A = this chain, B = another copy of it.
Amino acid sequence: VAGTQDADARAKLAARVRGVFTPVVTPFRPDGKVDTEAFEANLDLYAEHDLAGALVLGSNGEAASLDEGEKLALVGIARARLDRRVLLVGAGLESTRATIALVRKAADLGADAALILTPHYYKSQMTAEALARHFEAVADTSPIPILLYSVPAFTGIPWPAGLAEKLSAHPNVAGIKESSGDIGLLGRLRAATPETFAVVSGSAPTFYPALCVGASAGVLAVACCVPRTVAALYRAHEVSDHARARSLQQAIMPLAVAVTAGHGVAGLKAAMDAAGFRGGVVRSPLLPVGEAVQRELVALVSRAETAI
């Protein structure tokens, strides 16, 4: 396996992790099964937009509520529909051995890179050293580059100082997705790692300032419902139109908050429905949003769409 890894592969991947990615949802049918047709339809709609690729099996994909068969089926579909866009696959599980196994399967199905969540059940034991060993073991054995993934709102694990710097020396660690919205941290990650190490924002409420401090991409829930506006924000920053970028950031802000901290995946799915995508229902223990929230989301989607 080690033979398939090299710094060149990592650099190539990092160069492709630029722009906006949709962390696609997993639509479910009323009977609780995965609605693959809706999943495909969303990917086809996203293909019409200025997006760099998609993340499958992320937090917004309700990966924690999918079994392995469902996961692999979704990866296969996504690979087929994404054409040459970048396919990121969420493959982090609680144990190192299970993560390694899932990464290999995702690679076999054509994933371009695997997103590896911090293990988090045994919180007090997840020291910088324990996390380093975990990520290194996965990177050592993965046929594809990996991206580190920090999302304290779900894991309760703050990103340890110095860890990204250390791991960025590994030829198979291509970057980090940082979803806390802590722009100071993002800036420190950017400063502490080589340019071939991708620093990716996972927080739409701070996407524009993230780009200002050096993030190269965003994997953003809100892009699943208003991809045009989010892509326009990215391009505005790219051409140094800061006034427009800031304005678009303000326009998506309330929706971005509503579909993450506010109402979670259920809110995101309802907002997708409002925007012409197919969100579908959530899996329990998540609860669907009520009608008042649905109406609020319709208004927020409209505001974000009409900003461009």
Contact = CB atoms under 8 A, between A and B. Distances in A.
A259 to B, nearest CB: 12
B191 A206 contact: no
A97 B284 CA distance: 7
Main secondary structure on chain A at its contact with chain B? helix
A294 interface: no
Contacts of A208: 212-213
A98 B65 CA distance: 8
Interface in A161-195: 181-184, 187-188, 190-191
A299 interface: no
Contacts of A66: 95
Contacts of A32: 97
Contacts of A187: 205-206, 209, 249-250, 253
- Name the residue among A156, A191, A284 with the largest chain B CB count within 10 angstroms: A284
Contacts of A123: 153-154, 156
Number of chain copies forming the complex: 4
A127 B286 CA distance: 9
A285 interface: yes
Contacts of A249: 187, 213
A125 B284 contact: no
B214 A122 contact: no
Interface string A195-221: 000000001011011101110000000
A191 B250 contact: yes
Interface string A127-142: 1011101100100000
B285 A154 contact: no
A124 interface: yes
A242 interface: yes
A184 to B, nearest CB: 4
9 closest residue pairs by CB, A with B: A65-B95, A209-B209, A96-B284, A184-B205, A134-B285, A64-B94, A183-B183, A156-B156, A125-B264
Given A59-B122, A134-B284, A208-B212, 4 more contacts: A65-B98, A122-B154, A125-B264, A184-B203
27 contacts: A59-B121, A65-B95, A65-B98, A66-B95, A67-B98, A95-B285, A96-B283, A96-B284, A122-B285, A124-B261, A125-B264, A125-B266, A125-B287, A129-B287, A133-B285, A134-B285, A183-B209, A184-B203, A184-B205, A184-B206, A187-B206, A191-B250, A191-B253, A208-B213, A209-B210, A209-B213, A240-B242
